[in-house]
Amino acid sequence: MAENGSADVEKQKLLLHQHEEKHFMSSEVVRDIIIGVSDGLTVPFALAAGLSGASASSSIILTAGIAEVAAGSISMGLGGYLAAKSEADHYMRELKREQEEIITVPDMEAAEIGEILEQYGVEPHEYGPVVDALRRNPQAWLDFMMKFELGLEKPNPRRALQSALTIAVSYIMGGLVPLIPYMFIPIAREAVIASVILTLLALLVFGFAKGYFTGNKPFSSALQTAFIGALASAAAFTFAKLVRA
């Protein structure tokens, strides 16, 4: 019976760890997709509208748009890579510092365990065995301090590359949407109307999905996202007209 109970406990711990890891990773992927698609839909859309306002031809707008999508995806992907790499570097610095403190000032670190447990309502006479157990297991002690004292989770070593690729691909997918009409409609003033309609529909769908997956109100998110995209393109179109005039 005791063996069965121990096996059940280990199984529950494993399932809990897998659930937390899946939730953690999926939230990061969704965030990267939102960043990439959001900028991908908005920036090329505003660029195409601005060039249309300057009476550029469809071929010029398409060429400039594709160049912007290529440069933007690289820039955004690199930004995602550096952000994730910075998080990983920060974790490793804090890990090294915590390891040194556990070795050099173990009594002070043990006292901090008690302070942390007290924040969760654990009485001093109750957390004594926990402190003793952690002191006998340096790795568990280190993991405890990293998570509960510093609030840091061990980053996925592949996170930086995954973030860069996800953001870059999402940017390209979003950026091509406003450019599609210019591929088939040679007259820019006609293509821009189709681009506006297509991109606003895409922004509404994207905004709805973003609100749904992030726990916000989907319809409000859809309207807000579409409004921001429309405002950016209208501003670019107006300024281009004013400069040309």
CB atoms within 10 A of CB 242: 9
**% of the chain surpassing 90 pLDDT:** 17
C-alpha span between 102 and 111 (Å, rounded):
11
Q: Answer whether 159's CB lies under 8 Å from 80's CB.
A: no
pLDDT at 39: 86
Work out the pLDDT band at 13, boundaries 50, 70, 90: very low
Per-residue pLDDT tens for 132-170? 777 777 788 788 778 877 877 888 878 889 999 999 999
Rounded to whole angstroms, the Cα distance separating 221 from 236 reads 23
Q: What is the pLDDT of residue 8?
A: 45
Given a contact cutoff of 8 angstroms between Cβ atoms, the answer to whether 148 and 116 are in contact is yes
Sorting pLDDT into bands at 50, 70 and 90, what band is 124? low
CA distance 23 to 177: 30
pLDDT of 15:
45
Tokens in use for 44?
A: 């090329």
Q: pLDDT digit string (tens) for 58-106?
A: 889 999 999 999 999 999 999 999 988 998 888 889 888 888 888 888 7
Neighbours of 26 (CB within 10 A): 11
Q: What are the strands, taking DSSP E only, across 90-234?
A: none
